[in-house]
């Protein structure tokens, strides 16, 4: 019996056939190659833009500002890098930023880990809800607003000094100091660290802690020999994020430091927008990028990319 013509089929069947043909034409012939490439496309595009920007900065950094015309000189040289080496102020701001990065990272991890541990392990839904609110609420307030809030609290006539003078003591200088900047940075970085550590603690089964206890380990021994080593991916990820954000932070050192304790990012801003020396600012930015990337590379080389779940065996 001859097969009926397609025109003899109901309209709904023909529409379904047409839709199937369109989907078949759009479907990649080798999905095992195309699909991973599509997933990687945004990351590749982001890296390409970053490399493009860095290449532009390298070009700018090779042109010294001509003070006669206030335009970059036509000939390329390493004059801007020589200026960075000759002026001690740039070594000071970079050293200040690096020291702050180490201190803020250590203090933030020290505070973030118990916060994340209690938030994950507590059996009280009310306490967990309270800790989550305390964790996410700062994200609704911008960094600049938070820094100005600390100015109000710690200022000469702020809440803290008002309480101190009410007790009969002399007011303290709590703002425009290096310690205040570190305090503000720790407060700013804390939610980021908790968000990175909490998943690592969640992945640790409570049964493992119970097994350690059943073998005779007290809580502290089980915590230091089971929980801390297994939470290392979260600690390293949080440490890297906090350190790099601190190293490049601009707003908090600018507001809480009052121009007395500038970080490298503030010096870069001044070079670009106050003295209009884009070449010097680009050179300083590249030096900061190189130092930060080298430190992060060393950390990952010691800890191992596998520690962050980037492939390979953990700790290798």
Q: What is the pLDDT of residue 33?
A: 73
Name the average pLDDT for the chain.
87
Please indicate whether residue 314 or residue 3 has the higher confidence score (pLDDT): 3
pLDDT band at 316 (very low <50, low <70, confident <90, very high): very low
pTM of the model: 0.81
Which pLDDT tens digit goes with each residue over 8-31?
777 888 888 888 888 877 776 777
Mean pLDDT of the 167-177 span: 86
Please indicate whether residue 2 or residue 185 has the higher confidence score (pLDDT): 185
Q: Is the pLDDT of residue 2 over 80?
A: no
Q: Using H for helix, E for strand and C for coil, what is the string for the chain?
A: CCCCCHHHCCHHHHHHHHHHHHHHHHCCCCHHHHHHHHHHHHHHHHHHHHHHHHHHHHHHHCCCEECCCCEECCCCCCHHHHHHHHCHHHHHHHHHHHHHHHHHHHHHHHHHHHHHHHHHHCCCHHHHHHHHHHHHHHHHCCHHHHHHHHHHHHCCCCHHHHHHHHCCCCCCCCCCCHHHHHHHHHHHHHHHHHHHHHHHHHCCCHHHHHHHHHCCCCHHHHHHHHHHHHCHHHHHHHHHHHHHHHHCCCHHHHHHHCCCCCCHHHHHHHHHHCCCCHHHHHHHHHHHHHHHHHHHHHHHHHHCHHHHCCCCCCCC
Q: Is the pLDDT of residue 313 over 50?
A: no
């Amino acid at each position: 019996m001859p097969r009926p013509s397609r025109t003899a089929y109901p309209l709904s069947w023909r529409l379904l056939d047409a839709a199937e043909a369109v989907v078949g034409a759009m479907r990649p012939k080798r999905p095992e190659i195309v699909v991973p490439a599509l997933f990687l496309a945004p990351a590749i595009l982001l890296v390409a833009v970053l490399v493009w920007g860095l290449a532009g900065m390298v070009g700018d950094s090779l042109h010294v500002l001509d003070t006669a015309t206030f335009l970059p000189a036509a000939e390329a040289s390493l004059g801007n890098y020589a200026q960075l080496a000759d002026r001690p102020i740039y070594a000071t701001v970079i050293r200040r930023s690096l020291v702050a990065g180490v201190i803020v990272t250590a203090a933030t991890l020290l505070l973030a880990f118990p916060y994340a541990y209690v938030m994950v392990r507590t059996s009280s839904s009310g306490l967990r809800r309270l800790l989550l609110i305390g964790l996410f609420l700062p994200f609704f307030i911008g960094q600049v607003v938070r820094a100005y809030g600390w100015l109000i609290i710690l200022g000469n006539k702020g809440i803290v000094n008002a309480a101190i003078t009410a007790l009969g003591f002399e007011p303290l200088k709590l703002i425009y100091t290096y310690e205040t900047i570190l305090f503000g940075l720790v407060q700013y970085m804390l939610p980021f660290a908790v968000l990175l550590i909490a998943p690592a603690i969640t992945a640790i089964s409570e049964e493992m802690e119970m097994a350690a206890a059943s073998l005779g380990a007290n809580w502290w021994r089980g915590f230091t020999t089971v929980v801390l080593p297994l939470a290392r991916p979260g600690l390293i990820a949080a440490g890297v994020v906090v350190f790099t954000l601190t190293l490049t932070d601009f707003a908090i050192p600018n507001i809480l430091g009052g121009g007395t304790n500038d970080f490298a990012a503030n010096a870069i801003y001044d070079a670009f927008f106050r003295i209009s020396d884009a070449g010097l600012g680009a050179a300083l930015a590249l030096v900061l990028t190189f130092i930060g990337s080298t430190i992060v590379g060393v950390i990952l080389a010691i800890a191992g990319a596998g520690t962050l779940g980037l492939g390979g065996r953990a700790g290798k």
